[in-house]
Amino acid sequence: MRKKPYTPNTIIRSALRRLWLRSRERAKALKDAEYRCAKCGIKQSKAKGKEVYVEVHHIDEIDWNSLFDEIRKRLLHPPERQQCLCVDCHKKENK
User: Residue 76: inside a domain, yes or no?
Assistant: yes
Can you tell me the distance from the alpha carbon of 82 to that of 2, in angstroms, rounded to the nearest whole number?
23
Q: What is the domain range of residue 65?
A: 9-93
Quote the pTM value: 0.78
Instruction: Tell me what pLDDT residue 88 has.
Output: 95
Can you tell me the distance from the alpha carbon of 49 to that of 55, in angstroms, rounded to the nearest whole number?
19
C-beta of residue 26 within 8 angstroms of C-beta of residue 20: yes
Q: What is the pLDDT of residues 30-60, one digit of tens each?
A: 999 999 999 999 999 999 999 999 999 999 9
Instruction: Tell me what pLDDT residue 69 has.
Output: 95
Torsion of CA 53, 56, 59, 60, to 10 degrees: -140
User: Residue 3: inside a domain, yes or no?
Assistant: no
User: Residue 80: inside a domain, yes or no?
Assistant: yes
Number of structural domains in the chain: 1
User: Residue 84: inside a domain, yes or no?
Assistant: yes
Q: What is the pLDDT of residues 9-21, one digit of tens each?
A: 999 999 999 999 9
**52 φ, ψ (degrees, to nearest 5):** -135, 130
